[in-house]
Structures are given as structure tokens and as C-alpha cells.
Amino acid sequence: MKIRRIQNTLIRAFSALILFALLLLGSLSWYYLRKLLIQNAEVTTMQLVIQLNRIIENYISYMDDIALMAVNNEDVRTFMIYPATDSPQLRRKIGASFEAIRSVRRDIDSVFLLTRDGRAIASTPGALNPAVDIRGRFAELESGLKPGRPSVSSAHVENMVDGRYPWVISLVRDMRPSPGAKSFGLIQVDLNYDIIADLCRNIQLGQSGYVFILARTGDIVYHPRQQLIYGNLESEHIAEILSMSDGNLNAVVGGRAILYTAVGSRDTGWEVVAVSYLDELLGASREAEYYFCLLSLLALVAAIGGGIFISRNLSRPIESLRRSMQAVESGNFDIDITVNANNEIYQLARDCDIAVKKVRDLIEQSRSEQELKRKLELRALQGQINPHFLYNTLDSIIWMIELGENERAIDMTSSLATFFRLGINRGSETISIRTEIEYVRTYLTIQKQRYKDKLSYEIAFSPELYDHQILKLLIQPLVENAIYHGIKNMEGLGFIRINGEREDDTVVIRISDNGIGMPPAQLQALAAGQIEPRQGSGVGVRNVQERIRLSFGEQYGLEFESTPGAGTSVTMRIPVLRGEAT
Amino acid sequence: MKNRALLIVVAAAVLAAAALTLLYRGNRFFGPGPEATRRVIAIFKTVDYAGTPFWANVRDGVLSAARDFNIEVSLRGPEQESDIAGQIEIVHQAMEEKPDAIVLAAADFNLLVPLAREVRRRHIPLVCIDSFINSDDADVRIGTDSYEGGQKLGAALVRYVKAGELVAVMSYVKGSSTAIDRESGARDFLKNRVRLLDTLYSQSDVEQAYKQAVTLIRLTPHLRGIIALNDPTARGVGRALNESGKAAEIALIGFDNSIEVVNFVERGIIRDTVVQKPFNIGYLGIEMARQLIDGKKPPRFINTGSVDINRENMYQPENQKLLFPVAPAAPVTPATGAHP
């Protein structure tokens, strides 16, 4: 299994969560911001266009005022209706009044009067252009005119005055003697085209947006890039604009998305059209995008930082606990497991600490038990070379030799040799019951030589036990005990009976004698191990009892029964140790 | 260790944020960056804009495009259209300045060829406008198809002149490619229809054209038509014809336009004039230069076209705009660093 660090998991989760939230928030606000910006732009542009239209209409209505004034001028009417009144004086008078109008307003380029019969007066000084056919011009102008209503032209070049070719916008009104009658003449007021051009030019729509004016005929009245339009280097969606009513139109020109805002005017018959570039309108959303990116970055940093912070708080105690446990794994139990935390991890660490201490105690206990066992065993071994026993035996041998009882001396000596060989043999803790019995038998053989007819014995084991294992030197000390405390001081023949049998999983070995027995107090002291043998091998009952209990537990051990004057019986219970012989 | 990692993460984030800030804000505060540094030198046949409105119109187109495409344009040229040596010197100087591109209206069809080759050798993009050179060293050629324009002259003339009648051709500068092409277009169209006199050269000088025309009209009583191959020539001839009072007998067909030519057309002294689209020539010249600088492959030749103007059609909306160009919006000249 792949081990994942808590820190990385947390940082990943934090980042994902925050990024998701930001993305959602960002796209939503971006969408609404865009919508809002476009709406705002549409509204303000529309207001701008309406305002521009109004200004232009003001100019047009001012031109119409002038035309009306001229139409109703007595001199003008006289000049138009009665050709006979035509005189240089009248012409000068009319020309002067036109000139007066023109001179106070620099936006008016010129005022003309044309009659059906081909006469004309101009406000502008200079001769009329001889190339212009007045009758033809009159017919041309009249054809586009509604009776009694002004007509506004598109932008055009005025060539009425010789040598002048200004760009103008013309307003024409006719003059009739009475409604329904044919018009006698026309008044034409020319507005300086630059006025309109400047008005439009001065409107700034973003970085590169602009305003242009379209006549209903599709002619361009004003366009900042007129030359390019005429040269087909640029184009506008003129047909679409003309076909829609006042409002907005989205289009693409030259690869850029644009917004057309068009408002028509009834007075002029023109459409004022504003062109805004969407990318410029959305400049603020670009800024918002920038701040959003910045915010995302900061949030990401916060996510990573927060992840690191929280996970450190979380994983540092775990890490410290882990280190402690690793130390324990490598065998060092002598540590205190404490972590700097105030949550479950602290509890976990405390439990671990308790467990480790318990293990440490157990190990300590087991080690001291082992030590004790070994000590006891060693003492049992040492008991075998009890010098008194050896001296006595050797004394007995010397006596036998001196008495010439060589046969017995030989038996005694070989028994002694066998006794020591079996007692000191091998390092193993256990031996087979067969060997232990032989050992006991050798011991009794030696003792019988000493006590002669005063000691007799019987050893009876069920044969199935022979190959079972038994701790070394368990039976011999008890036999020794029987001899020294039971038989040695008794009158008559002493008898020791040693038998062993199996009861379920327990080996029961009983050593009983018919010696002097013990009073209950002494028996108790013996059972409690308070009586140390001063003679014999000196190993004693206590040693046997402790070794059995250390090896096999409290349920095993020795039981004593004694009747003063009648004998003592020791029952040993040990578990069946099968075939573990070495 | 963990502290350092945290520090690195934070530092990286701050740096990234700073870079983003610059990216977004930089554009606004420091302008559009390297794009602004494109430098183009435009060399006209003449910078006498008052005398030759045609070139004033080309200039307007150049400046308009310079503003649209954010290009720094330097406008140059000799005072006199016939000063070929002067233009050669100007081109030489321009080449030494290592601009990003050169836009050239060649004063002579042949004499500028070696220089154009040198410009090409130095990997400076070359756009020829209006008048071309006798080699393929120009990357792009933009202008009126002069041969086609010449044929339009012939087609206009035959409406006024009967077959076999006498017609004069008055050209301007002998080596100019436009003069050569217009003349051959007109001559090819007319050669089997009328009798053609030898070509006269006015050197684009109104006075000289006037004198030549006065002499021509006086010495050639059977003359029924004159073709004047450019605006100064047409004006000179127009004045002579006006004075001679023979405008009704002799049909004058001009090329290009000015206020004087327009006035002559209105009065019937000049019957037709074939006009070009000089604004477009200038505008496209800069636009194609930009494409070349940006490594794009524009077409080798762009025909901007020509229109036959006469008294009847001159005030039609689309023709008005050609004859009486509306000056471009004001703030052009200072921003582009041009010095006309």
C-alpha cells in the first residue's frame, strides 16, 4: 500500500476546494460583470447618440428657420414672383441680407435663391459658377421636395459659386404664391459640413470607437474613415443598420466584435450610428480578470499554507508517536511516550506508553525468573558435590578397603563415580525420567552401603514414564531428605518407596518413608521451605519446590504428608514433558 | 525544512502575481510595447503637395494607415517630380538608416533599379506605390494599372473624335513607369482609330505644359484631341485651350485631378479625366509594408483602379468623394513623427 502523507492529502483537498469555489465564483461574476458592462455601454452610447441627433436636429431646424425667414422676406417674394422687378439694386439688397445671415453664423456656408426661370442670388461673394445650369438645378432640387416642407440633402460638394467646392449639407424650401400653386423659387441653406464632422469626430467611444451618419438612401453623410469606405478598404453593415429600428446591433468587422447603436431622425432622415468595440467596453472585465487571477493565487497560497499548518499540527504528534514506537521496535523500552497534543492522539500516545511500560515490566520479570531458575539449578548442582557426602562416602570406601571388603569398595566407588557423572552431565535443564531414576538408584546404592541393613528401598515407575522428561535433580533431594530426616534417626529398618505414575497430563511422583515423621509445625515449615537441610546434599526441598513452580507454574509442586512416628510422604506433581529430551 | 518550503511557495506565488500585474498593467502604462517601434520610410515622387494634390492625397492615406497600424512613418521626396537624382539620393540615405521597410514611388522606371536591388540585398522590405521600377526587386507593387488607365483615356477620347482625326499625346517625365504605361495604353487603344502625333513631355510643370500646348494648338489647326497624361500637364493644356477658345473643337482628356481640373471639367474644357485613388494607394502601401515586416506574404501586385470622370457623373456621391477628398481626421501628423 502506498503511504500518503497527511500534509499532501490535506493540501490537495484544500486547493481543489478553494479552486473550485473560486472558479465558480469567478465565472459567475465575470458573466454578470460582462453583462452589466455591455448594458451600461449600450445605455450610455444610446444617450450619446440621441444627444448628437438632437444637436444635429437643432442645426437643421436653425437652417430651416433661416430658409423660412428668407421665403417670407418681402424682397425675396417680390424677386421670385415678379421677374420684372429684377434689378441690380434688388439683387444687392437680397444678397446683403443673405450675407448678413451668413456672416453671423460660421456654421452656415451659404444661402442661395433659385427661381424657376433660371435666376439665382448667392450670399457668398463671387460670381455664380457659369457651368451650373440654374434651371436644371432648380428642377433637380424641386423633384426631391415635398410642397411646403423642408428637404435635407446628404453631404455633397456645392459648386454654385465659381471656383469654390465646399462640402456642405443643404436644406431646401420652396416658395409658392399660394398653397397648391407651383413654386416660383427655392431657398437653399448650406450648412458647413465640417460642423457635422467635428461634432461626430469629437465623440470618443472607448479607444477607437467612433460615430458615423448614414442617410436613408445608404449614402454615408459622415464617416471618419470615409476614404477607406469609398476605396472598399473598409465596410460597415449598412444594410442591416438601415433595416433595423433604433437600437443596438452586434456585428464583426475586421475580426473585431463591435456594437452598433443607431438612432434615426425624422427631421433629417439620417441615422446616427455609434460604433463601439466590445473588447474596449470590456476593459473593466479584463481588470476584473486580473484581480481574480491575483485572488486565486493568494487563495491557492493560503490553501497550501493552511494545509501545511493544519497538517503539521495534526501530523507532528503522530510523527513523534511514530518515532517513539520505532524506538520501541528497535528494542528500546526505556522511553516515555508523550506527545504535544490535546486530542485523541494524546490519548493514543498515553495508551501506548502504558502498554510499553507493561511490556517492559513483563520482560523484566521474565528475565529475573530466568536468572533465579539458573541460580537454583546451579545451587542444585553444587549440592551434588557437597563435601560431607563425599567425605562420608570416601570414609566408607576407606573402611571397606581396610576391612578387606574389596568387592564392596569397588561397588561403592563405581556407584560414586556414576553418581557424579550423572549429576554433573550436560548443560541441559531436563533429563529423561529414566536417567533421573538411575541417578536416584545410584545414590541409594551409595547410602545403602553406609547404612547397611538399616535402609531398604523400592522404586516403581510405570514404564511409560521412562522416556518422559523431568527437571534435573528433582527426586534425589527428596530421597536425601527422607534419609536424613526420616530414617537416619529411627529405630529399626528404614524403607523408602519411590513410585511414579501418570494422572492425565500430570506426572505424580511419590517419595514415602517409614521414618520418624514430623510434627505438623515442622511439616509446615518444611513445606514453606523454612527448613534448610544441614546434611546431605544440602539442596533441600525448597530448591525443588521453587524450581518446579518457576518452570511450570503454581499449580505444580510438592505436597507433604506426615504422621509423627509413622513416616512422611512427599508427592511431586509436574507436567508431562514428552520427548523433549536432549 | 518545512518552513523553507512554505517560504518558497509564497515567494513563487508573489512573483507570479507580480508578473501578472506587469502583464496586465504594463500594456496600459507603457503602451503597446515593441509594436510601436516599426519604422517605415515613405518616399514620394514629390513633396510639393500644394502643386500636386495627388501626392497630398497619397500622404493622407499613408498617415491614416500609419495611425491605424501604429507605425512610425517618415515622409520624404524631392521638391520637383523631375528631380530623379534627388530621389535617388533620398532613397540611398533612407537605406542607410535601416528602416523596417521602405515605401517608394519611383521617379524613374530604370534609374532606381540598382538602388532597389541594394535595398533588397540588405533585406529591407520594399513596397513600390504608384510608379514602379523595371525589375522585380519590389516585394509588393500597389497602384493604378496604368496601362488600363491609358486605355480608359483612349476610350474616353474616341467618344469626341472621329476616326482618322489628329490627336496629340502630352506626357510628363520620360522615364516614369506610369507615364510609359499610360501612354502605351492610350496609344494601343487609339492607334488604328486616329492619327497620333509624337509625344511631348511637360516635366510635370504646368507652365511648360501651357507653353507646349499653346504652340501645339497654334501650329496644328487640324488638331481634334489632346491626351494629357497627368494633372499638371492637363492643367497647363487646359489653360491654353481655354485661352484659345477652341475647347469646342479640341477634346482634351486628362489624367488625375485638382480643383482647376475639376473646374475645367465643369466648364467642358476638359471633357473627361481619368482619376486614380491616391488615398488608397498610400494607405495600402503602409498596410502591405506592415505585412512584410510581420513576415506575411501579401500579393505581389494590387490594382487600386481608376475611374473616368466627366461633367455628367462628377457629382455622383462616390465620384464627389474622389474628386474632393475630405481631409482625414485632424490628429494624424504629430503622433506619427512624420515630417512632410
Whole-angstrom distance, CA of residue A411 vs CA of residue A400 = 11
Closest CA to B167 of B180, B177, B156, B178: B156
Q: How far is CA A347 from the centre of its chain?
A: 27
Query: Given pLDDT bands bounded at 50, 70 and 90, which one contains residue B158?
Result: very high
The share of chain A scoring above pLDDT 90, in percent, equals 14
Q: In Å, how far are A156, B262, B271 from B266, measured between CA atoms?
A: 16, 6, 9
- Report the complex ipTM: 0.76
Query: Given pLDDT bands bounded at 50, 70 and 90, which one contains residue B28?
Result: very low
pLDDT at A304 over 90: no
**Grid cell digits, residue A255:** 475580426
A226 lies within 8 A of chain B by CB: yes
Closest CA to A468 of A502, A443, A497, A419: A502
Q: Could you tell me if A571 and A558 are in contact, meaning their C-beta atoms sit under 8 angstroms apart?
A: yes
In sequence order, what are the residues at sequence separation of 6 or more whose Cβ sits closer than 8 angstroms to the Cβ of residue B27?
B33
Q: Phi/psi zone of residue B185: left (φ > 0), alpha (ψ -120 to 50 degrees), beta?
A: alpha
Question: Which residue would you say has higher pLDDT here, B196 or A411?
Answer: B196
**Grid cell digits, residue B182:** 499610360
Dihedral sign of CA atoms B109, B110, B114, B117 in order: positive
The type of residue at B340 is P
A157/B317 touch (CB, cutoff 8 Å), yes or no: no
Give the pLDDT confidence score for residue B27 in this predicted structure: 47
Predicted TM-score (pTM) of this structure: 0.63
B279/A231 touch (CB, cutoff 8 Å), yes or no: yes
Q: φ, ψ for residue A260 (rounded to 5)?
A: -90, 135
The type of residue at A138 is F
A180 lies within 8 A of chain B by CB: no
Give tens-digit pLDDT for B116-145.
999 999 999 999 999 889 888 899 999 999
Average pLDDT along chain A: 84
A154/B317 touch (CB, cutoff 8 Å), yes or no: yes
B60/A286 touch (CB, cutoff 8 Å), yes or no: no
Whole-angstrom distance, CA of residue A311 vs CA of residue A5 = 9
A305 lies within 8 A of chain B by CB: yes
Give the pLDDT confidence score for residue B190 in this predicted structure: 95
Question: Which residue would you say has higher pLDDT here, A64 or A25?
Answer: A64
- Search chain B and give the residue with CA nearest A231: B280
Give tens-digit pLDDT for B85-113.
999 999 999 999 999 999 999 999 899 99
B277/A231 touch (CB, cutoff 8 Å), yes or no: yes
Give tens-digit pLDDT for A251-283.
888 788 888 999 988 888 889 999 988 888 777
Length of chain B equals: 340
Contacts 24+ apart (CB under 8 A), A20-25: A22/A292, A22/A295, A22/A296, A22/A299
Give the pLDDT confidence score for residue B338 in this predicted structure: 34
Give tens-digit pLDDT for A221-234.
888 887 778 777 77
Q: How far is B199 from chain A (nearest CA, A)?
A: 31
Q: Which of A39-43, A313-317, B31-35, B331-335 is predicted with the least confidence, judged by mean pLDDT? A: B331-335
**Grid cell digits, residue A122:** 448667392
Query: Given pLDDT bands bounded at 50, 70 and 90, which one contains residue B329?
Result: very low
Q: How far is CA B21 from the centre of its chain?
A: 45
pLDDT at B300 over 50: yes
Q: Could you tell me if A390 and A450 are in contact, meaning their C-beta atoms sit under 8 angstroms apart?
A: no
Q: Could you tell me if A119 and A88 are in contact, meaning their C-beta atoms sit under 8 angstroms apart?
A: no
Strands (E) across A208-269 are located at 210-215, 220-222, 247-253, 256-264
pLDDT at A236 over 60: yes
Q: Could you tell me if A469 and A552 are in contact, meaning their C-beta atoms sit under 8 angstroms apart?
A: no
- Which residue in the set A167, A219, A298 is minimally distant from B326, CB to CB? A167
Q: How far is B197 from chain A (nearest CA, A)?
A: 31
Closest CA to B173 of B242, B83, B95: B83
Whole-angstrom distance, CA of residue B133 vs CA of residue B112 = 7
Q: Give the residue-averaged pLDDT of A183-201.
A: 89
Give tens-digit pLDDT for A126-155.
788 888 889 999 998 988 888 778 888 888
Give tens-digit pLDDT for A487-527.
888 888 889 999 999 998 899 999 999 988 888 887 887 77
Picking from A11, A230, A285, A298 by the largest number of B CB atoms within 10 A of its own CB, the best residue to mutate is: A230
**Grid cell digits, residue A560:** 507433604
A308 lies within 8 A of chain B by CB: yes
Give the pLDDT confidence score for residue B169 in this predicted structure: 95
B266/A129 touch (CB, cutoff 8 Å), yes or no: yes
Give the pLDDT confidence score for residue B78 in this predicted structure: 95
Query: Given pLDDT bands bounded at 50, 70 and 90, which one contains residue B199?
Result: very high
Query: Given pLDDT bands bounded at 50, 70 and 90, which one contains residue B12?
Result: low
Q: Which of A99-103, B39-43, B160-164 is predicted with the least confidence, judged by mean pLDDT? A: A99-103
Q: How far is A328 from chain B (nearest CA, A)?
A: 26
Give the pLDDT confidence score for residue A582 in this predicted structure: 39
Query: Given pLDDT bands bounded at 50, 70 and 90, which one contains residue A539?
Result: low
Query: Given pLDDT bands bounded at 50, 70 and 90, which one contains residue A321?
Result: confident
Q: Give the residue-averaged pLDDT of B71-85.
A: 92
Whole-angstrom distance, CA of residue A42 vs CA of residue A343 = 61
Question: Which residue would you say has higher pLDDT here, A560 or B20?
Answer: A560
Whole-angstrom distance, CA of residue A155 vs CA of residue A555 = 129
The share of chain B scoring above pLDDT 70, in percent, equals 85
Dihedral in degrees, nearest 10, Cα atoms B204, B207, B212, B218: 150
Closest CA to A188 of A220, A222, A142: A142
- Which residue in the set B6, B317, B329 is minimally distant from A305, CB to CB? B6
Q: Which residue has the cell 455591455?
A: A38
DSSP letter string over A35-67? HHHHHHHHHHHHHHHHHHHHHHHHHHHHHHHHH
pLDDT at B288 over 50: yes
Q: Could you tell me if B232 and B172 are in contact, meaning their C-beta atoms sit under 8 angstroms apart?
A: yes
**Grid cell digits, residue B273:** 479625366
Q: How far is B176 from chain A (nearest CA, A)?
A: 25
Give the pLDDT confidence score for residue B223 in this predicted structure: 95
Q: Phi/psi zone of residue A24: left (φ > 0), alpha (ψ -120 to 50 degrees), beta?
A: alpha
Q: Could you tell me if B233 and B170 are in contact, meaning their C-beta atoms sit under 8 angstroms apart?
A: yes
Question: Which residue would you say has higher pLDDT here, B314 or A179?
Answer: B314
Picking from A6, A168, A233, A309 by the largest number of B CB atoms within 10 A of its own CB, the best residue to mutate is: A233
Whole-angstrom distance, CA of residue A196 vs CA of residue A58 = 12
Give the pLDDT confidence score for residue B79 in this predicted structure: 93
Helix (H, G, I), strand (E, B) or coil at B323: helix
Give the pLDDT confidence score for residue A347 in this predicted structure: 86
Give the pLDDT confidence score for residue A312 in this predicted structure: 78
Give the pLDDT confidence score for residue B340 in this predicted structure: 34
Give the pLDDT confidence score for residue B24 in this predicted structure: 55
Give tens-digit pLDDT for B244-278.
999 999 999 999 988 899 999 999 999 999 999 99
Query: Given pLDDT bands bounded at 50, 70 and 90, which one contains residue B83?
Result: very high
Whole-angstrom distance, CA of residue A339 vs CA of residue A319 = 9
Q: Could you tell me if B236 and B254 are in contact, meaning their C-beta atoms sit under 8 angstroms apart?
A: no
Picking from A198, A227, A304 by the largest number of B CB atoms within 10 A of its own CB, the best residue to mutate is: A227
Whole-angstrom distance, CA of residue A448 vs CA of residue A442 = 10
Give A-chain residues touching B279 at CB under 8 angstroms: 227-228, 231
Whole-angstrom distance, CA of residue A316 vs CA of residue A307 = 13
Element (H, E) at A141: helix A134-143
Q: How far is A284 from chain B (nearest CA, A)?
A: 12
Q: Could you tell me if B128 and B104 are in contact, meaning their C-beta atoms sit under 8 angstroms apart?
A: yes
Q: Could you tell me if A174 and A239 are in contact, meaning their C-beta atoms sit under 8 angstroms apart?
A: no
Give the pLDDT confidence score for residue A386 in this predicted structure: 66
- Search chain B and give the residue with CA nearest A194: B326
Give the pLDDT confidence score for residue A9 in this predicted structure: 79
Query: Given pLDDT bands bounded at 50, 70 and 90, which one contains residue A19?
Result: confident
Q: How far is B78 from chain A (nearest CA, A)?
A: 26
Whole-angstrom distance, CA of residue A26 vs CA of residue A289 = 8
Q: Which runs of consecutive H residues, i.e. helices, occur in A4-129?
A: 6-71, 74-81, 88-104
User: How many CB atoms neighbour CB A191 within 10 A?
Assistant: 25
- Which residue in the set B20, B315, B317 is minimally distant from A290, CB to CB? B20
pLDDT at B5 over 80: no
Give the pLDDT confidence score for residue B213 in this predicted structure: 96
Picking from A8, A137, A141, A157 by the largest number of B CB atoms within 10 A of its own CB, the best residue to mutate is: A157
DSSP letter string over A519-531? -HHHHHHHHTT-P
Give tens-digit pLDDT for A378-430.
776 666 656 777 888 888 888 889 988 888 888 888 888 888 877 766 567 78
Whole-angstrom distance, CA of residue B329 vs CA of residue A323 = 81
Closest CA to A66 of A168, A190, A194: A190
Give the pLDDT confidence score for residue A581 in this predicted structure: 43
B13/A156 touch (CB, cutoff 8 Å), yes or no: no
Q: Which residue has the cell 497534543?
A: A341
Q: Which of A302-306, A355-359, A376-380 is predicted with the least confidence, judged by mean pLDDT? A: A376-380
